[in-house]
Amino acid sequence: MPLGPFTNPIVSTTASTDFAQFDVALWQWLVLVAVIATLVVADLVVLHRKPHAVTVREAAIETAVWVAIGLGFAGVMLWWHGGRAATEYVSGYVIEQSLSIDNVFVWALIFTHFAVPREYQFRTLFWGVFGALVFRAAFIFAGAALIRDFAWMLVVFGLLLIGSAWKVAFGASAGVDPGRNVVIRAISRFVPTTPDYDGQRLFTRVDAKWFATPLFAVLVMVETTDIVFAVDSVPAILAVSREPFIVFSSNAFAILGLRSVYFLLGGMQDRFRYLDSGLGAILLFVGSKMLVGYFTGWHPATWFSLVVILGLLAGAVVASLVADRLDRPVTGPDSG
């Protein structure tokens, strides 16, 4: 609200100028898709052509490269449409990257349940990420259209995020049981399946008949869990940007790096004990932001939202690492 000749730098009150808006030509969309497809194919053909167990060092290097690419695209947005678009992109990227960490831990649970050899996991995640990009694109365009045509959907999305905040804060992945998943049970009932792996193949021939391998069930489980997590992450990103190009690109570049994040963090869930609480707080913030914006017309500036999100995430990670360090047994010459 205007305060004399000054305005509040944290709160915006003009709904039509709250978010970056610009036209994107078809060829520009095609360039984005081509860049993403090139990165995905190059990652598979060049770096992971032969199946092998990804080491922590390799995963760390690849994660750093993917993060650099993802944040580097913010420079494209800055050059193309200015600071607001770039800030919205970074906010969306951080939200998707942080909320996807729970997804990574669920992947670890799925691979452990199905005893997937580590050297076959990357190829499975490759197809999982490919499917995730398609599903996310559909969710993003549908969500943006609903908000544009039915403003009251902001209330629905806001309440959905607040409800998800409670669920995530108290362990979203704790209730995931691959063995009792409805989709997996349907596959085992209607799709002929062999209990044995055949390399990285999803289907194999046994006695001249085609059977699904366990990797097919794993891939379906990975895709279904991603859809569940998208119900949280897509509305969360729509809370900081309404431009489909920004929302999709930030989502896509964050998802591209999830495979390396999985191999880096997949077995470290216990060390991040407060991460779920931090992610829940992020969802609570963006959900409340949607509701406050709809009912009052006041919207926190995008940079302020980004600071809050980064602060909540960093606070959860630091608190987790400190608690983990304090819980470690003291070792030394006098400890025994």
Predicted confidence (pLDDT) per residue in 189-208, tens digit: 788 888 888 888 888 888 87
Residues 135 and 233: their CA atoms lie apart, in Å, by: 12
Structure tokens at 285: 């913030």
Query: Does a structural domain hold residue 19?
Result: no
Q: pTM of the predicted model, to two decimals?
A: 0.84
Query: Does a structural domain hold residue 333?
Result: no
Residue 55: pLDDT above 90?
no
Query: Does a structural domain hold residue 18?
Result: no
Contacts of 81 (CB under 8 A, 6+ apart): 20, 22
Residue 4: pLDDT above 50?
no
What does the pLDDT read at residue 147?
87
Number of structural domains (the chain) is 1
Residue 139: pLDDT above 80?
yes
Query: Does a structural domain hold residue 66?
Result: yes
- Judge whether 251 and 132 are in contact, CB under 8 Å: no
Residues 253 and 255: their CA atoms lie apart, in Å, by: 5
Query: Does a structural domain hold residue 331?
Result: no
Query: Does a structural domain hold residue 105?
Result: yes
Amino acid at 309: I
Query: Does a structural domain hold residue 336?
Result: no
Query: Does a structural domain hold residue 250?
Result: yes
The domain in which residue 39 lies consists of 25-326
Residues 260 and 264: their CA atoms lie apart, in Å, by: 6
